[in-house]
Amino acid sequence: MGDNRGQGPTWREWLGVAIGYGVLSVVMTFPLALHPGSFGRVDNGDGQFSIWNVAWVARTLVVDPLHVFDANIFYPNHGTLAYSENNIGAGILAIPVYWATRNAYAAHNFVLLLSFVLSAVGLYALVRYLTASRGAALVSGVCFAFCPYVFAHTPHIQLLMTAGLPLGLLACHGLVDRPDARRGVLLGLAMAAQALLCGYYAVFLVLIVGYSLLVLATSRRSWSSGSFWTAVSIAALVAMAGALPVFLPYFNLQHAVGFRRSVEDSRQYSADWRAYFASSAYAHLWMRGLVGHWKEVLFPGCVASGFGVAGIVVGLRRGGRLFEAALLYGGLATLAGWASFGPDARLYSVLYSFVPAFSLLRAPSRFGVVVVLALSVLAGIAVAVLLEKLRRRTLAAALLTLVTAAELVSPLGFAPAFPIEPAYRVLASKPYGAVLELPVFSYQFRFARARYMLNSTEHWMPLVDAYSDYIPQGFIDRTPVLAGFPSRESLQLLRRDGVRYAVVHLDLYGPAIREALLLRLREFDESVKPEYIDGDVRLYEIVAVP
């Protein structure tokens, strides 16, 4: 170990590592890879939203890239992709699969599997750089990429896109070791890429890089170095230029409607001590009875925790670059854990006051992924020192990697894809027009509207009703009138907005309400023309206004 510059991996090593992590990703998510086009996290609204989101971006970036933020939801509003996480990065990665298959599930699941590989390779590269140990890097990659937090968030594709965090740190270390313009550009690109992949993690990475530069520059006495400041300035400019197109729609939304998260909103999404002992893994089932109720899954795993703590001790004793790494990542784990406890622990409130992007965030508990990242790196330091003392290092590293993976195996909620109703295929063949889906669920039952969005991947028409993080007030105000469709008031409102079609889900109504709806459809038969009425899902065209 020590200064390992110039001892970087060869392309054969990168290829072998990527293939190995790819195989492990397939095993850990089994049987998803066997049914990528017909399975998904459709058991909840967020999972359905993610599938729609990735498909929308993958499609629109090819056919109409300038209007990718004008998603087909909450018609007639514009810029609606900014109502929640945009997932531009995931959509870019999904483009080849989406256009090869036109299957939203396949596109999403490809990115899901790829996210594990990229995260593992990113952490491998970081630990490999810091320790020069392949075995230690291999173990650390598994600790980070397959941690319980990630498996608990398989419905949220953006929260799986953690690769930018270790890659950003790797670029940060490279810049401090050899500050020049090229390394400044690399750090800026890593930060911009994370902004495309996940807004939350982009904010985290800015804080992580700022803290890391502070620690490393102090350790190296780089504050008076002109080349250091030049490289940092270049990194900042590249990062801002790359992230601005993604963040600008959110700031425009804030300016237009005053959308922001108050610091009080974050309290219910803050971690507590139970979260750091909560896990979705089979090997950790025994802990659930001890923990009781938890609000987030943040247990790093036994290997990551045990070796992570050992890594701090070992690094501080070894001195040199390992001392620096132990100090950096030990402090990072402490600060991130502190911030994850939200406003009651004070640090999050301070960050909220001084970091403008925090007004868009609401879940301090997600800082827990940074704790896992730091412990995974520290575990790599401990494993590297351990392997130095063993004769059969390769075998020991392989066994420890398998043990780590076995510890983190978790139950998955993948279910068969929803069948496409014939009414949607008929709608896809019709002239372009906005669609009202019925019933129009109340705000309380907003998750049910995600199913409408998932169905829209068959036709891509604009939807009046949808689900997102932010629900526009105009839609909420119109809901009572739209729910009474067809009526004189609802038809006049829909014609004013240019809505052309209505899809009615009779199976989602109770008997009495369904009968009343069918009666109204007969009453307004001259205004609402049936296009497909077999089965429980019916399609109508609005042809006149009474």
Three-state helix/strand/coil letters over 63-97: HCHHHCCCCCCCCCCCCHHHHCCCCHHHHHHHHHH
Using alpha carbons, select from 204, 198, 34, 194 the residue that is nearest to residue 113. Answer: 34
Q: How far apart are alpha carbons 337 and 460 in whole angstroms?
A: 42
Nearest-angstrom CA–CA distance, 85 and 323: 38
Classify strands 499-505 and 434-438 as parallel, antiparallel or unpaired: parallel
**What confidence score (pLDDT) does residue 6 get?**
43
User: Among 199, 135, 137, which residue's Cα sits nearest to residue 166?
Assistant: 137
Residue 351 CA to residue 366 CA, distance in Å, equals 14
The secondary structure of residue 432, as a DSSP letter, is P
Q: Are 130 and 325 in contact (CB under 8 A)?
A: yes
Sheet hosting strand 434-438, strand order edge to edge: 434-438, 499-505, 537-542, 528-532
3-state secondary structure of 37: coil
DSSP annotation of 2: -
Q: Which amino acid is at 57?
A: V
| All structural domains of the chain with their residue ranges | 11-16+36-408, 422-542
419 residue type, one letter: P
Q: Give 10-residue mean pLDDT values along the chain (546 residues).
A: 56 95 97 94 92 98 97 95 95 98 97 98 98 97 98 96 98 97 98 96 97 95 94 97 92 82 89 94 89 89 97 93 96 98 94 87 95 98 96 95 97 92 96 95 68 96 93 91 94 95 93 93 94 94 91
pLDDT value, residue 359? 82
Residue whose pair of structure tokens reads 């996290």 in the numeric block? 41
Q: Which uninterrupted H or E stretch holds 434? A: strand 434-438
Distance separating alpha carbons of residues 409 and 27, to the nearest angstrom: 9
Write the single-letter amino acid at 56.
W
HEC secondary structure over 259-293: CCCCCCHHHHHCCCHHHHHCCCCHHHHHHHHHHCC
The C-alpha atoms of residue 419 and residue 453 are separated, in whole angstroms, by 14
* Neighbour count for residue 261 (Cβ, 10 Å): 16
Phi, psi of 504 (to 5 degrees): -110, 125
- Per-residue model confidence (pLDDT) at position 3: 39
- Alpha helices (H) along 132-180: 134-145, 148-152, 164-177
Residues 309, 312, 318, 321: is their CA dihedral positive or negative?
positive
pTM over 0.85: yes
Which DSSP symbol is given to 445?
A: G
Identify the residue whose tokens are 């996210």. Answer: 115
Q: What is the pLDDT of residue 5?
A: 41
Following DSSP, what letter does each residue of 218-267 receive, concatenated?
Answer: HHHT-TT-HHHHHHHHHHHHHHHHHHHHHHHHHHHHHHHH-----TTGGG
Instruction: Spell out the residues 6+ positions from residue 452 whose beta carbon is closer than 8 angstroms to its own.
Output: 437, 463, 465, 466, 503
Give the separation between CA 199 and CA 272, rounded to whole angstroms. Answer: 23
Q: Which amino acid is at 335?
A: L
Cis before 179? omega within 30: no
Q: What's the token pair of residue 243?
A: 């992230």
CA nearest to 368, candidates 147, 130, 136, 113: 147
Q: Is 190 exposed, middle or buried (0-12, 13-18, 19+ CB in 10 A)?
A: buried
CA–CA distance, 238 with 109 (Å, rounded to integer): 31
What is the pLDDT, as a whole number, of residue 2?
A: 42
